[in-house]
Amino acid sequence: MKRLSTADVAFPAAFEALLHEARETTASVDAPVAAIIAEVRTNGDAALCAYTARFDRLTLTPDALRITAAEIEDAAAQISPDLQAALDLAATRIAAFHRAQLPTDLQMHDDAGVTMGLRWTPLDSVGIYVPGGKAAYPSSVLMNAIPARVAGVGRIAMCVPTPGGVLNPLVLAAARRAGVSEIFRVGGAQAVAAMAYGTQSIAPVDRIVGPGNAYVAEAKRQVFGRVGIDGVAGPSEVLILADADNDPGHVAIDLLAQAEHDESAQSILITDDPGFADAVQAAVDRELPALDRHAIAAASWRDHGAIILVRDWAEAAALTDRLAPEHLQIMVADPAALFDRICHAGSAFLGRFTPEALGDYVAGPNHVLPTGRTARFASGLSIYDFLKRTTWIQADAAALGAIGPAGVALATAEGLQAHARSLSVRM
């Protein structure tokens, strides 16, 4: 891991290198993903079955692509009461937070006599991608499906890979709890292509959401325009701003909680105390061997982790905005005051008792967030990803007479005669 200090003369160059470190790129998968998409567009279900056999070691016929209602019920029945209660709590809280985001329609009548408005309507259909490789994430099912359901989306289809034919009971139980019954055992770029263009078994959708590996991310990028997407997600990341009043072990495990996602994940600590930095680094070394995914977390921390020493929290706020992290934990005496000085973060977690993992599962706000510094211009998944806006205008003869001449003048200046006449013939 890297150890940087703003007091060092070499800090600006070192920090710039950290900012632009390439943790994962889709460049090498552009061509194979394009080939997969083309094959699915041409051969539909047959291509899905062939790719599932190749990548997931599962031989399927087209009639077995969809997971049956009985399989979903059987999976849900396997979940312990405690886990079912946890799913219910998480789902209830996620629904409540996203329901509070529902916007209201707008209507206004101005002095010229024109009535204008804005109307919100849900998308007709949404496709959800759920990872099934190094880790399966039931929480992602809830975070993607529940906002769509709250928004009023009529059809939600879900694709999840089942390597070796193994179904994850908790993933299916989460889908059932979120009201998703159209589920396909298809993963990778081929699943994205199927949801975007449709096959004999999978009807196309209007928007695709959900995280995935480099192939999934690149496939979403390539089908964008045909369908909407939530974004092209990269490796996960956390930035922790912590003072010396914290328990070093708490901060260490929070850093490792992000590192255990995959080798390309990034965990960064910013602190103003060198001794605390040393203590956290030592705590990370102690905690790592006990993790089931210690090899993954160790690679992430070794290759992409960083501890940055700052002279004050104003420096920390400025560095945070440049990093624009996916997750931001603020563990200082007055976290709200420091958060007020920061503009760019996917989601923020304020205080010593608000680890990022709370937001991953049960807090309520969405855990699908912008990565790779895209929080500078992008936001996390929300109710708005499943709604669209339609503006409308209504004018009578008097209103047209009041503002129409200005429209005629502008249309004429642009050389658009029919536009000008469309207004003038009515006045």
Convert 276-327 into a string of H (helix), E (strand) and C (coil): HHHHHHHHHHHHHHHCCCHHHHHHHHHHHCEEEECCCHHHHHHHHHHHCCCE
Cα–Cα distances (Å) from 158 to 44, 142, 207, 234, 268, in that order, read 17, 12, 12, 21, 33
Q: How far apart are CA 398 and CA 113, in angstroms?
A: 7
Residues comprising the chain, all counted: 427
Distances (CA, A) of 280 to 11, 27, 225, 240, 256: 21, 35, 45, 12, 11
**CA dihedral (322, 327, 329, 330) positive or negative:** positive
Rounded-to-integer distance, Cα 223 and Cα 241, Å: 37
Which residues are known to be catalytic? Answer: 326-327
Instruction: Give the bridge partners for 36, in sequence order.
Output: none
- At 3, is the secondary structure helix, strand, or coil? strand
Whole-angstrom Cα distance, residue 43 to residue 389?
35
Residue 330 structure tokens: 């603020």
Coil, helix or strand at residue 233: coil
Question: Residue 309 in contact with residue 327, Cβ under 8 Å?
Answer: no
For residues 341 and 332, what is the distance between their CA atoms, to the nearest angstrom?
Answer: 13
Strand (E) positions, 66-114?
106-109
327-331 sheet: strands from edge to edge: 2-5, 306-309, 266-271, 237-242, 327-331, 347-350
User: Cα(190)–Cα(198) distance, rounded to whole angstroms?
Assistant: 11
Cα–Cα distance between 30 and 37 in angstroms, integer? 11
